[in-house]
């Protein structure tokens, strides 16, 4: 029996080693399957990260473009504000110039009116002086204050196209 004991021990040791190798093989297969699954996960994650990076770059380009458009619009708005201020200033200046011209015209009209009144008064005074002198000399009065108007020559009749409507009489009846 002695010779079989070492054999049994050797067989048991081999059997134990075989079991350990089988366990290691299963562990290696399981680890390889896990590694393959992890690699697939990492590849998917890498593709998602690449897609995210591309989307971020596109977003940055869009943001940069919008920022540039915003800056251009801001510059245009500032130019328009300056132009509006200049236009307003020009408008105020033109308004002031027109007001000054209106005042000058009014003053000129007042001066002309006063001059006309003075001339009329002087004419009346001269006529009165002439009349007084004629009475003093017993001469007939050539100027009696009644002026005869010469009849106007009537122009040839032209076909009347537009009828003049006196002011205030141009109302429309809805009858």
- Mean pLDDT, to the nearest integer, of 25-35? 95
Note the pLDDT of residue 145: 56
pLDDT value, residue 6: 64
Instruction: Write down the residue that tokens 């027109």 correspond to.
Output: 98
Query: What is the percentage of the chain residues whose pLDDT exceeds 90?
Result: 66
Q: In angstroms, rounded to a whole number, what is the distance separating the alpha carbons of residues 75 and 77?
A: 5
pLDDT in tens, 123-147: 999 999 988 888 888 876 555 555 5
Binning pLDDT at 50, 70 and 90, where does residue 152 land? low
- The C-alpha atoms of residue 31 and residue 52 are separated, in whole angstroms, by 30
Using a pLDDT cut of 70, give the percent of the chain over it: 75
Alpha-carbon gap, residue 96 to 98, rounded angstroms: 5
**Spatial contact of 127 and 145, defined as CB atoms under 8 Å apart:** yes
**The pLDDT of residue 77:** 96
- CA separation for the pair 148, 165 (Å, rounded): 30
**Distance between start and end Cα atoms, the chain:** 147
Summarize the confidence of residues 142-166 as an average pLDDT. 56
Q: If you average pLDDT over residues 16-26, what whole number do you get? A: 94
pLDDT in tens, 45-96: 999 999 999 999 999 999 999 999 999 999 999 999 999 999 999 999 999 9
Please report the pLDDT score of residue 1 as a whole number. Answer: 44
Q: Identify the residue with better confidence: 163 or 88.
A: 88
- Average pLDDT of the residues of the chain: 84
């Amino acid at each position: 029996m002695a010779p079989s004991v070492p054999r049994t021990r050797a067989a048991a040791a081999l059997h134990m080693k075989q079991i350990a190798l089988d366990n290691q093989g299963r562990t290696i297969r399981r680890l390889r399957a896990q590694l393959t699954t992890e690699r697939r996960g990492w590849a998917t994650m890498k593709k998602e990260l690449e897609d995210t990076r591309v989307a971020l770059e596109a977003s940055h380009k869009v943001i940069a473009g919008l920022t540039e458009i915003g800056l251009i619009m801001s510059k245009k708005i500032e130019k328009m504000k300056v132009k509006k201020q200049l236009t307003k200033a020009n408008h105020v200046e033109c308004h002031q110039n027109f007001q000054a011209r209106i005042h000058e015209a009014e003053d000129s009209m007042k001066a002309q009116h006063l001059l006309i009144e003075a001339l009329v008064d002087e004419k009346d005074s001269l006529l009165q002086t002439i009349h007084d002198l004629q009475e003093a000399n017993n001469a007939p009065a050539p100027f009696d204050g009644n002026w005869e108007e010469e009849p106007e020559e009537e122009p040839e009749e032209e076909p009347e196209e537009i009828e003049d409507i006196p002011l205030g009489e141009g109302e429309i009846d809805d009858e």
